[in-house]
Structure 1
Amino acid sequence: MGNYYPLMVDLSKMKCLVVGGGAVALRKTLALKETGVDITLISPEIMAPLVQLADAGEINLIRRPYQKGDLEGFHLVYVAINDKKVSEEISREALDTGVFFNIADQPAAGNFIVPSKIQRGDLVLSFSTNGKSPILSKKIRQELEERYGAEYEEFLQLLGRERVWALREIEQIDQRKAYFKALVYSTLPELLKAGKTAEVLRQIAEIREKTLSKEIGGTGNDK
């Protein structure tokens, strides 16, 4: 497989085509829906859950086989069919038109892959082995899921609020960096996990006080 460049993309203003109407197409469609991308699905045969999404106005359906020219107007395409000939035809057209494409059963034949992902609210941890070891990828996923639990969703929201406060209340950049560093390296995640809200507020107040009194010195890299 190729050397892939990791990239976080806002798909909310883009159009995506899914070719296929089976279980793989359903998984791809459900994952894509979370991004807000405009989804069109082409297939002569379509699973009931996909039909339900179309009836609810969440995706667009075209009930027929893929035809040359169907990629026009789309930014990326997922190929989720078992027809190698059609997959190759889509690949050629995608390469000619500059469309990003992924072939579910032949990832190396496409020009992008979807890495493994763990999401805790706005915190997204993404990783890939370039297809060399799915087992290692699974191991890493399990370790990260344990290390960064559900409490990190709330922790990141807290950091976002404190960032707004610090940018407003702390004028000196070094002090501000020290404040961010003190929060990140604190025991706040553990307290959030334990549900100790009062202790969370106490620790934040303490870090604020120390920062404003210039008791904290730091060389954090956040800005």
Structure 2
Amino acid sequence: MDYLPLFADLKQRPVLVVGGGEVAARKVDLLQRAGAEIRIVAQALSPELENLHQEARVHWLCRAFEPQQLDDVFLVIAATDDNVLNAEVYAEADKRRVLANVVDDQPRCSFIFPSIIDRSPLVVAVSSSGQAPVLARMLREKLEALLPVSIGRMADLAGGFRSKVKQQLSSVGARRRFWEKVFSGRFASLVASDQMVKAQQQLEQDLTTFAQGKEANQGEIALVGAGPGDVGLLTLRGLQVMQQADVVLYDSLVSEETLDLVRRDAERICVGKRAGAHSVIQDETNRLMVALAQQGKKVVRLKGGDPFIFGRGGEELQVAAAAGIPFQVVPGVTAAAGATAYAGIPLTHRDHAQCVTFITGHCRTDSDGLDWVNLARARQTLVIYMGTMKAADISRNLITHGRDANTPVAVISRGTRMDQWVQTGNLQQLDQLAQQAPLPALLVIGEVVALHHQIAWFGHQQQMASAVRPAVVNLA
């Protein structure tokens, strides 16, 4: 180990910064966040540092460095483009046993700045001992995605509760088990959703239960939108919840790449439904979801797209609420937004569509018919989920109620994935296009589809430089 990781208390401690440019300003920002008293030696100050100086938030000592400036400082940072001056600062600091950092000059550093993940009071530092700072930064970015912003608030609440826990739980082992359960339980979910009063109450309840020797686990359900397919469209919150799951009930539309992000030791159960294929009925999914949560498990119901847009997520949470099971919802990118964006089809456009309507081709058998008169209006975009089997009826009804038979249409299959297909034509060809489309597929009807030929694939190609280009079929 080349450097011993330490977290220094700099509150009200004098720190000298030699240099007044942008690099120095970045270091000053970090030092200010740690509460240091900052002194600057520089020929001139950047606009940012000048503002801080005018606000008396930093002290500009003078223009020239003098060794005696190091006599009463806690540490020093040299951030100039003058190598000779930087070397002098380091040498004088070393004589005085003052910690020194010469920016981007690892041999002249008695301390180094790590890549920092700030979830105060929780702080994570990643260092490569100055050998590969870009690698350390990339690792920090990966860790950022795994650490919820709420984890700092959770640490704050826990810190204020430690003395009470010590009073009621005398052994170190008992306290450790308590905090392990708390940080992975309902308390953590409440903090994540910013319900701080309820989180405090939950913490009190958990301590009482634990102190009485019950240690009962309370299960919960998280309804998570996995997005339309491309794993990059999974939300950060969705990833964090998936990493905490004991069991995941997932749909057939959830991609393998997304499932790979589930916690390794979590149980995975497919409850997907596909037209014309054997599938798990909704009542069975509801029963299983509730039964698992009642066993004290953290259940993630992982659904393609967004769970509240033709995903029956509302029905599932009604069941959870009726059973008295705590739940949370993590929205996802719906297929209509994701697939059309990757296909270069804007859902709205000032010149072509002033509104967009989402409908489903699977209606309840006891429901009234669709409002075809309004759906057939021009200059609007229709996005139809699960409509391929009824494409002929959809086309006929729209044309009968006034929609131009030459209205552009698109059928998008396996939206946002590497093998995405986009088939375009006009409204009277919709059934033919739908029959050719691999499932799952989305129907898009409206003038905006014509823009596909102008802006298709531009963004998607950047992601897929080494992949096979998605197929495009045009029957127009």
Give the TM-score normalised by the residue count of structure 2: 0.42
Secondary structure, counterpart of 1:61 in structure 2: strand
> Are the equivalent residues in 1 in contact too, given 2:90–2:100 (CA < 8 A)?
yes
Judged with a 3 Å threshold, the aligned counterparts in structure 2 of structure 1 residues 61 and 3 are, in CA distance, closer, same or farther, namely same
Is the CA contact (8 Å cut-off) linking 1:175 and 1:214 kept in structure 2? no
Would the aligned equivalents of 1:102 and 1:112 in 2 still touch at CA under 8 Å? Answer: yes
SS at 2:38's partner residue? strand
Q: Against the structure 1 CA distance between its residues 178 and 67, is the aligned structure 2 distance closer, same or farther, given a 3 Å change threshold?
A: closer
**Which amino acid in the other structure matches residue 207 of structure 2?**
R
Aligned to 2:90: 91
The reply to whether residue 105 of structure 1 matches residue 78 of structure 2 is no
Are 2:55 and 1:56 equivalent residues in the alignment? Answer: yes
Quick one: distance in 1 between partners of 2:196 and 2:109?
48
Report deviation, 1:43.
Answer: 1.0
Paired residue for 1:164? 163
Aligned position for 1:221: none
How far apart are the structure 1 equivalents of 2:122 and 2:115? 14
CA contact (8 A) 1:191 1:200 kept: yes
Query: What RMSD over aligned residues (CA atoms) do the two structures have, in Å?
Result: 2.4
Structure 2 equivalent of residue 27 of structure 1 = 26
Q: Which residue of 1 aligns with 2:183?
A: 184
Counterpart CA distance in 2 for 1:86 and 1:198 is 54
Measured against aligned partners, the alpha-carbon deviations of 1:6-56 in whole angstroms (never above 9, x if no partner) come to 011111242111111111111111211122222110112112322221222
1:17 is aligned to 2:26? no
TM-score, normalised with respect to structure 1? 0.85
With 194-203 and 4-13 compared, the bigger mean Cα shift is at 194-203
Gaps in structure 2 of 5+ consecutive residues: 217-476
Q: Deviations over 1:31-90 (max 9, x none)?
A: 111222221101121123222212222111133221343322222111011111111111
Q: CA deviation at 1:199?
A: 6.4
Which stretch shows the higher mean deviation, 3-12 or 139-148? 139-148
Higher-Rg structure is 2
More strand by share: 2
For 2:43 and 2:3, the matched residues in 1 are separated by 33
Match of 1:133 in 2: 132
Report what 2:353 is aligned to: none
List gaps (5 residues or longer) in structure 1.
Answer: 218-223
| Partner residue, 1:80 | 79
Quote the sequence identity (%): 25
- Equivalent-residue separation in structure 2 for 1:175 and 1:7 (angstroms): 29
> Residue 216 and residue 107 in structure 1: after superposition, are their counterparts in 2 closer, same or farther (change >3 A)?
same
Q: Equivalent residue for 1:39? A: 38
2:170 maps to amino acid: Q
Q: 1:159 is paired with a residue of what secondary structure? A: helix
* Maintained 8 Å contact 2:20/2:49: yes
| Alignment match, 2:249 | none
CA distance in 2, matches of 1:104, 1:86: 12
Judge which range, 196-205 or 56-65, deviates more. 196-205
For 1:105 and 1:73, the matched residues in 2 are separated by 25
C-alpha displacement at 1:205, in angstroms? Answer: 4.8
State how far apart, in whole Å, the 1-side matches of 2:186 and 2:118 are.
Answer: 21
Counterpart secondary structure, 2:70: coil
Q: Is the 8 A contact 1:16 1:75 kept in 2?
A: yes
Is the aligned partner of 1:120 residue 2:136?
no
Instruction: Call closer, same or farther: CA 1:191–1:171 in 2, change over 3 Å.
Output: closer
Compare 137-146 and 76-85 and name the one that shifted more.
137-146
Q: What SS does the aligned partner of 2:137 have?
A: helix
Deviation digits for residues 80-126 of structure 1 (CA, Å, limit 9, x no counterpart) = 11111111111221111111111113133121101111111201111
Residues 148 and 44 (structure 1 numbering): CA distance in 2 closer, same or farther, change over 3 Å? same
Matched position secondary structure for 2:26:
helix
Q: Label 1:103 to 1:184 Cα distance change in 2 as closer, same or farther (>3 A).
A: same
**Residues 164/42 of structure 1: CA separation in 2 closer, same or farther (3 Å cut):** same
Structure 1 segments, 4+ long, off by >3 Å, are: 174-178, 194-206
Contact 2:10–2:36 under 8 Å retained in 1: yes
Structure 1 stretch displaced more, 69-78 or 204-213: 204-213
Higher RCO (CA < 8 A, seq sep 6+): 1
